[in-house]
């Protein structure tokens, strides 16, 4: 199935590397959607609209970056949404118990990677499908949320509220929150790691063909476990950002978020079988989702379920595009 498709896309313009096409298509889509928004609604051209997309989706961006690592190795992590909720929940409950903010931050940031590390070990050493292991992780984390508390816990800690309310802006009055800066930092670090470090090369190699990577002497085990740990860490950071954003921990928050994240990564041009994709694409994918939501909010007459239908349609379009330009599919 895969070998035939490789030759069909030969006639594509040679000047454009084929692996860049999905990312460029996402960029084009994003610009078109933004253009539609600007032409339809006067307030859409306001810079703050763009900033708000980042403010509202900062945590999604961080989690999607972690997911990009996992998907690049050809795996999948379904636990991210639950880990985000669990992190927010744990921080909220620890803060309620009066622990100092710095300690809470450390504990909250350790839980996600630990769970990710354990899942990575189960996936690698016991050869259980990532899908099933992370599904169990998802159940576990979601169960822990309600185990901690059945109802949402609000956060009144000084550090959290100041992080939540701090506005960094220009004289014109446009601003972003600190969460956005943290998200950007995560994106930049991730992009650097993937593009310029040995570990990044290993991630692409394992995703391209784990067997070959092993025969080449690359540390497949370490890489595979590391990506799930990274995804756990990103989910934990995402959880902290979400708790900054909502100033509470709720047991049922971020349900189904893993789907949005996977959709963002795929729309961003990362191939689900692994080995091809960029962090930059993921950023664009998250922005596409954010702009869709903004457009639907601006329109007012469309209901929220249209978001899901549009995301589904976009997923289809992008997968078809990847297929047409002949990127390898299993």
Partner 1 sequence: MTAVADRLRPLTAHRLFWPALVLVVMIAANTVYRPGFLAVEVKNGHLYGTPIDILRLSAPLILVALGMTLVIATGGIDLSVGSLCAISGAIACLHISGAADQNSPATVATALALAFGAALVLGAWNGVLVAVIGIQPIIATLILMVAGRGIAQLVTEGQIITINSGPYRAIGLGHFLTLPLAILIALAAALLVAAFTRRTALGLIVESVGGNAEASRLAGIRSRRIVFLVYVISAVCAALAGFMVTANVSSADGNAAGLWIELDAILAVVIGGTSLAGGRFSLGGTVLGALIIQTLTTTVYAMNISPQTSLLFKAVVVIAVCLVQAPAFRARLRRRRRGAEPGPAAPQREKEQVPA
Residues that bind partner 1 (CB under 8 A): 1, 5, 76, 122, 125-129, 131-133, 135-140, 142-147, 150, 211, 214, 251-252, 259, 262-263, 266, 272-273, 303, 305-309, 311-313, 315-316, 319-320, 323, 329-330
**Cβ 45 to partner 1 shortest distance, Å:** 28
- The closest alpha carbon to 268, from 278, 259, 258, belongs to 278
Q: Are 67 and 80 in contact (CB under 8 A)?
A: yes
Nearer to partner 1, 109 or 214 (CB): 214
How many CA atoms lie within 13 Å of 55's alpha carbon, on the beta-carbon side?
Answer: 21
Note the helical H segments in 247-278: 257-267
Residue 233 burial by CB count (10 A; 0-12/13-18/19+): exposed, middle or buried?
Answer: buried
The H or E element that residue 105 is part of is helix 101-125
Measured distance CA(254)–CA(83) in Å, rounded = 9
Nearer to partner 1, 181 or 259 (CB): 259
Antiparallel, parallel or unpaired: β 248-249 and 175-177: unpaired
Measured distance CA(76)–CA(67) in Å, rounded = 7
Measured distance CA(34)–CA(287) in Å, rounded = 10
Nearer to partner 1, 130 or 200 (CB): 130
**Cβ 239 to partner 1 shortest distance, Å:** 17
**Cβ 108 to partner 1 shortest distance, Å:** 19
Nearer to partner 1, 143 or 169 (CB): 143
Nearer to partner 1, 174 or 273 (CB): 273
**Cβ 174 to partner 1 shortest distance, Å:** 32
The distance from CA 243 to its chain's CA centroid, rounded to whole angstroms, is 17
**Cβ 2 to partner 1 shortest distance, Å:** 8
Nearer to partner 1, 79 or 223 (CB): 79
Which residues are 176's β-sheet partners? Answer: 168
**Cβ 231 to partner 1 shortest distance, Å:** 17
**Cβ 36 to partner 1 shortest distance, Å:** 20
- The closest alpha carbon to 174, from 39, 52, 287, belongs to 52
Nearer to partner 1, 17 or 143 (CB): 143
E strands, 114-174, where?
153-154, 167-169
Nearer to partner 1, 92 or 180 (CB): 92
**Cβ 213 to partner 1 shortest distance, Å:** 12
Q: Are 227 and 70 in contact (CB under 8 A)?
A: yes
CA distances from 167 to 35, 172, 186, 310 (A): 27, 13, 19, 32
């Amino acid at each position: 199935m895969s070998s035939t498709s490789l030759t069909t896309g030969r006639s594509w313009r040679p000047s454009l590397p084929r692996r860049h096409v999905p990312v460029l298509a996402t960029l084009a889509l994003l610009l078109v959607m933004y253009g539609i928004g600007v032409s339809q609604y006067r307030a859409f051209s306001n810079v703050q609209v763009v900033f708000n997309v980042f403010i509202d989706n900062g945590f999604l961006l961080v989690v999607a970056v972690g997911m990009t690592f996992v998907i690049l190795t050809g795996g999948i992590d379904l636990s991210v949404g639950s880990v985000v909720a669990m992190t927010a929940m744990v921080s909220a409950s620890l803060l309620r118990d009066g622990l100092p903010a710095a300690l809470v931050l450390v504990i909250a940031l350790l839980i996600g990677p630990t769970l990710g590390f354990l899942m990575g070990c189960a996936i690698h050493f016991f050869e259980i499908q990532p899908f099933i292991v992370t599904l169990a992780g998802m159940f576990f984390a979601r169960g822990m949320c309600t185990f901690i508390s059945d109802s949402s816990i609000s956060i009144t800690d000084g550090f959290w509220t100041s992080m939540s309310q701090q506005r960094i802006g220009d004289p014109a009055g446009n601003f972003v929150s600190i969460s956005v800066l943290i998200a950007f930092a995560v994106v930049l670090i991730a992009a650097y790691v993937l593009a310029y470090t040995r570990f990044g090369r290993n991630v692409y190699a394992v995703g391209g063909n784990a067997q070959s990577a092993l025969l080449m002497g690359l540390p497949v085990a370490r890489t595979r476990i590391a990506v799930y740990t990274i995804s756990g860490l990103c989910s934990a950071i995402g959880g902290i950002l979400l708790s900054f954003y909502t100033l509470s921990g709720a047991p049922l928050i971020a349900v189904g978020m893993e789907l949005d994240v996977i959709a963002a990564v795929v729309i961003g041009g990362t191939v689900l079988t692994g080995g091809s994709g960029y962090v930059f694409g993921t950023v664009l994918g998250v922005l596409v989702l954010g702009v869709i939501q903004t457009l639907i909010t601006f329109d007012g007459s469309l209901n929220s379920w249209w978001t899901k239908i549009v995301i589904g349609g976009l997923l289809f379009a992008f997968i078809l595009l990847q297929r047409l330009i002949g990127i390898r599919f299993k």
